[in-house]
Chains A and B, each alone.
Chain A
């Protein structure tokens, strides 16, 4: 493969990762507020279908993306409402919505299969795209890919460098303490869940109007991406940068699978495509292992120096979820 070819492939990885990025960033925001939105698999499909349908019907890409975001936000609101107001399990409601929205997308989208809809064009940034290597990688992409870059930074900035972001972290970690400091925990949870859902809702249209333009129903190959998003969110440790790393890693491994295909003819593409998964489980294992009781016991028997080292290692790996994740907040 020529170096130009390699560069273009790598740019393709960034491009292909864009939809997943929206999903992961969106879910990271939602989970930071303490709510798990398990409906992601359904949301992506439904927002992809609706986004395509709206864009096809109106001819406007913008409306398509907005529609997708709206769907994402609304589904997330159902999860939040069921959890906060109705005190039902977030996992249960999220899971049901995952199945429901998947089926809704297939059913309502039936009429749009194989239709040719609008899709995005490459929008090179004049001047910057001439920079060697970086220009091809970063500045010859389309609008949504640029947006996917920007949103990583925006989200990171919001969470770690602003006052309301600090409160967001507080709500996720210890809602009781945030409440004492004047936060209306539940109202903020609604807002962030909608926001996170809306951002994640951009993932679908980024597929159907861009990366995998069109709607192919059950053959769209989009089924499963939602679960991937959820796994990468955890891998990302609820930190936008680490999450972005996870997304690109996943995308890279997928691309690697395609590339290695001719080299390893005995292994089917699909296998290499799902190879990231054992990796994810392994990382989940590593990040959680610090929490296990038996590890603590084993550590207690180690000599002081070793124990400190191991503790520091575990600490670096550890991705502690926001402590209140999944737990409804009662101001009592």
Chain B
């Protein structure tokens, strides 16, 4: 048993090394000095408090989406539709804020309602994907993809149409919300402690849900063997729906955070790829909820660090995306190699 553990760790380290090698190769192909690139990325993460708070701010939506997809993965579902769920969350939040911005309510309450609206919007969109799957037999990957596009279209319609900036409706987004509708932050820092709390709480909640509740156990049973779970008494389709609802809710919260804490308006790219990135993080941590927070932090850091590259080295910031992707790919492939070489099937 012990040697099995060391072997696993050894292979995982090999995957990391391979990923770094690959990224170095890519950098060389782009004609850059790998060392300089890595240093710049690190600089972009650590060199100032602004950087660190930016990393934390990017961490929050990623934590939310990762937590959400951990639930759907537990149920054996590929919730590719998560980007759309973030979008709908953002739309609902914007809608709530717009509705209430001229009311006499205190800003804080409006924001809270905005969050609730976002949660609802995301959950709704998730439920739609769930219904398509459970009752329509539409694979959640394709249903999700389609719904992603519909969500984007819907958001665009709102941004340019009914919610357009007065005068010139622009695809760059709706009008900025007044500052009282911004999630409050300490002075000169672009990080909202409220949002941070929401993010961390969600990770804790999901960890607890999956580890310590009947719901989580049943969900896992459904994901690992739907037939046996059914025979053991679990209402399987209901649990699939719950998974979609919950993940959608978390995604919706991510959307709410994006609106109230980051962009302060609705833009067409408000989901910023956090949905897909959450899927990647979940895969990388092999669906173990306890690793969600640190690895999400790592990936958020990579995102922020990568921003340095266009500025300093005239390279595209998507190097972070390359590293994020290749890491997961090698971890998957190395795991497969290890099983093939060392485990009897």
Do the two chains bind?
A: yes
Give the B-binding residues of A (Cβ under 8 A): 38, 78, 82, 85-88, 91-93, 95-97, 99-104, 106-111, 217-218, 224, 227, 230-231, 234, 266-268, 270-271, 273-275, 277-278, 280-281, 284-285, 288-289, 291-292, 294
The minimal Cβ–Cβ distance linking B157 to chain A, given in whole angstroms, is 5
Contact code string B307-327 (vs A, CB < 8 Å = 1, else 0): 000000011101111101110
Which one, A102, A107, A291, contacts B319 given CB within 8 A? A107
Judge whether A277 and B138 touch: CB under 8 Å: no
Query: Cβ of B108 < 8 Å from any Cβ of A?
Result: no
- Complex interface: chain B residues within 8 A of A108 (CB): 26, 29-30
Q: How far is the CB of A104 from chain B (nearest CB, A)?
A: 6
B99 sits at the interface (CB 8 A) = no
With contacts A91-B141, A110-B30 known, is A86 near B161, CB below 8 A? Answer: no
User: Is there a chain A Cβ closer than 8 Å to B279's Cβ?
Assistant: yes
Residues of B with C-beta under 8 A to A218: 316, 318
**Interface with A: B56-64, B144-152, B203-211, which one?**
B144-152
Among residues of B, the one whose C-beta sits closest to the C-beta of A104 is B322
Q: Which one of A87, A92, A110, A230 lies within 8 Å of B283 (CB-CB)?
A: A92
- Interface positions, chain B 127-165, Cβ under 8 Å from A, are 132, 135-139, 141-143, 145-150, 152-154, 156-157, 159-161
Residues of A within 8 A of B159 (CB): 268
A257 to chain B, nearest CB (A): 10
Kindly state whether residue B340 has any CB partner on chain A within 8 Å. Answer: yes
- Closest CB of chain A to B11's CB: distance in Å? 12
With an 8 Å Cβ cutoff, the count of chain B residues facing the other chain is: 57
Chain B window 271-299, contacts with chain A (Cβ cutoff 8 Å), 1 for yes, 0 for no: 00000110110010000000000000000
Can you name the residue of chain B whose Cβ is closest to the Cβ of A106?
A: B318
**Pair A267/B30 contact, Cβ less than 8 Å:** no
Evaluate contact between A274 and B152: CB separation under 8 angstroms. Answer: yes
- Interface residues of chain A: helix, strand, loop or mixed (majority): helix
Of the candidates B135, B147, B276, B332, which one forms a contact with A292 in the assembled complex, judged by CB atoms under 8 Å apart? B135
Set of chain A residues within 8 Å of B152, measured between Cβ atoms: 270, 274
Nearest CB of chain A from residue B91's CB, rounded to whole Å = 14
Bound-state CA distance A93–B78 (Å) is 12
Residue A95 contacts which of B80, B137, B169, B320 (CB distance < 8 angstroms)? B80
- Closest residue of chain A to B147, judged by CB? A281
In the assembled complex, which residues on chain A have CB atoms less than 8 Å from the CB atom of B268?
270
Q: Which A residue's beta carbon lies closest to that of B320?
A: A103
Q: Which residues of A contact B30 (CB under 8 A)?
A: 107-108, 110-111
**Within the assembled complex, what's the spacing in Å between the Cα atoms of A306 and B142?**
31
Contact of B336 among A86, A96, A291, A294 (CB under 8 A): A86
Cβ contact within 8 Å between B333 and A82:
yes
Tell me which residues across on chain B come within 8 A of A294, comparing CB atoms.
135
Shortest beta-carbon distance from A111 to chain B in Å: 7
* Residue B329, interface by CB 8 Å: yes
B150 and A281 within 8 A (CB) = yes
> Which A residues touch B43, using CB under 8 A?
none
Q: Which residues of B contact A292 (CB under 8 A)?
A: 135-137
Question: B340, A85: Cβ atoms under 8 Å?
Answer: yes
Pair B333/A86 contact, Cβ less than 8 Å: yes
A277's partner among B150, B320, B325 (CB-CB below 8 A) is: B150
Q: Could you list 4 further interchain pairs (A-B, Cβ under 8 angstroms) beyond the known A266-B161, A268-B171?
A: A95-B78, A99-B325, A103-B322, A274-B152
